[in-house]
Amino acid sequence: MNQFLLEVRNVTKSYSIYSTLFQVEVAKKPVLRNISFSLEYNTSLGILGPSGCGKTTLVKIISKIEQPDSGEVLLEGKSINSYSKEEFATKIQMLFQNPYAMLNPKLSIGFLLKERVKQNFVLTGQKVDNQIIYSRINELLEIARLPKNILNMYPHQLSGGQRQRVAILMVLSLYPKLVILDEPLSALDISLQAQMLNFFSELKEKFKFSYLFITHDKNLAEYFCDKILYMYEDGRYELQ
């Protein structure tokens, strides 16, 4: 096994600036400048910085949504570009700031979870077995301390905390090696934030995944993460 789960090596990214009159490129705005860091298995890294410092761009590159201008990202010792879309989905998953991004409002929670667990069977080449799928869903509900009757409910019928827990189950049902948390607590009040932090810490130990935690909150990052990557608007960064 490779020593590092994730390695970001000298990643640089700039965006074009166009003139408003002729829509001609007039300059390049550097966003990431030779950024490098690594993440070991079953550990966590907070990515901290103000708006505009490149946190979102970095995450998009790690998620294969965007390509860097130069540099590379390795996952388990292999370039992320060498993974198929299906294989990559079992390696990296993202939990969005708004859980509605993952929950189709027209579908019941039971249907959403069933399809997600079934997807794991398909992606990993297992024979789809409905009995095992329902057993796994019940296990996930127990882990999340959610009642079984939630399976008959729709996203709009859940509380904010319940929606967030279901979204987390959607992510973990694929058993990823790395979870990217994009400001996952910003829509919750302080008491629910504390509950979700404790809950996620429990899940990390049970499912043995690593995570990147994107946030503006220094206190949250220091409490929740093993290491912190500080990013600045001028392109500088430091790892602590």
Q: Which secondary-structure segment (H or E) carries 26?
A: strand 25-40
pTM here is 0.87
Position 193 scores a pLDDT of 74
In a domain, 49, yes or no: no
- Residue by residue, DSSP assigns 187-230 as TS-HHHHHHHHHHHHHHHHHHT-EEEEEES-HHHHHHH-SEEEE
In a domain, 113, yes or no: yes
In a domain, 138, yes or no: yes
Number of domains in the chain: 1
In a domain, 116, yes or no: yes
In a domain, 35, yes or no: no
User: What are the phi and psi torsion angles at 77 (to 5°)?
Assistant: 85, 0
Distance (Å) of CA 58 to CA 96, 104, 146: 15, 27, 34
In a domain, 167, yes or no: yes
In a domain, 162, yes or no: yes
pLDDT in tens, the chain (240 residues): 668 999 999 999 988 777 776 677 667 778 898 999 999 999 999 999 888 888 989 999 999 999 999 999 999 999 999 999 888 988 999 887 777 777 899 999 999 999 999 988 888 888 888 899 999 999 999 988 899 999 999 999 998 888 888 988 999 888 899 999 887 766 667 777 777 778 888 888 888 899 999 988 888 888 889 999 999 887 778 888
Position 220 scores a pLDDT of 82
Cβ 219 vs Cβ 213: under 8 Å: no
CA 162 to chain CA mean position, Å: 18
Q: Which domain holds residue 135?
A: 103-174
In a domain, 47, yes or no: no
